[in-house]
């Protein structure tokens, strides 16, 4: 019982850090490929407003990020994890790449899917060991 609580806590925490990981990827891409708007705001703008904006965006992303994470986790319970990872990670990469070409999808959606697949790939063996 105690192990299940621990694995459940880790699962919830990973769903909560999914958005910050995706946001870091978006910030790096924006800095390398774009105008580095967030970096400019950090250096020359109000840090307080920037933090409020990021926290607000994080709260807005939770209704999407959390179910997405649990969907990916659920798929690996019912399908071979190799298949799920072979689908989710490339789909996240493609969706992320579609942000730089028309129709310019928001990069955060692809990044969320990509990081959900990456987190699941790294932590899936942990849950497998815990359930055996």
Q: Which two tokens stand for residue 9?
A: 């806590």
Domain ranges of the chain: 3-123
Q: Which residue bears the tokens 């990456």? A: 118
What is the value of pTM for the model shown? 0.79
Spatial contact of 68 and 103, defined as CB atoms under 8 Å apart: no
> Dihedral, CA atoms, 47, 49, 51, 54, nearest 10 degrees?
-130
Residue 62: asked if its preceding bond is cis (omega within 30°), the reply is no
* pLDDT score at 92: 92
- In the predicted model, residues of the chain with pLDDT beneath 70 are 1-7, 103-104, 126-132
* pLDDT score at 44: 85
> Dihedral, CA atoms, 15, 18, 20, 25, nearest 10 degrees?
180
Gap between the Cα atoms of 19 and 9, Å rounded:
17
């Amino acid at each position: 019982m105690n192990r299940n609580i621990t694995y459940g806590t880790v699962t919830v925490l990973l769903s909560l850090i999914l958005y910050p990981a995706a946001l870091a990827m978006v910030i790096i891409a924006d800095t390398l490929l774009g105008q580095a708007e967030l970096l400019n705001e950090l250096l020359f703008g109000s840090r307080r407003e920037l933090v409020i904006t990021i926290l607000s965006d994080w709260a807005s992303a939770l209704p999407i990020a959390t179910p997405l994470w649990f969907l990916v986790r659920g798929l690996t319970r019912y399908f071979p994890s190799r298949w799920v990872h072979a689908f989710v990670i490339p789909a996240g990469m493609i969706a992320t790449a579609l942000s730089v070409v028309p129709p310019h999808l928001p990069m955060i959606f692809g990044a969320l899917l990509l990081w959900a697949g990456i987190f699941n790939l790294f932590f899936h063996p942990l849950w497998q060991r815990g359930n055996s």
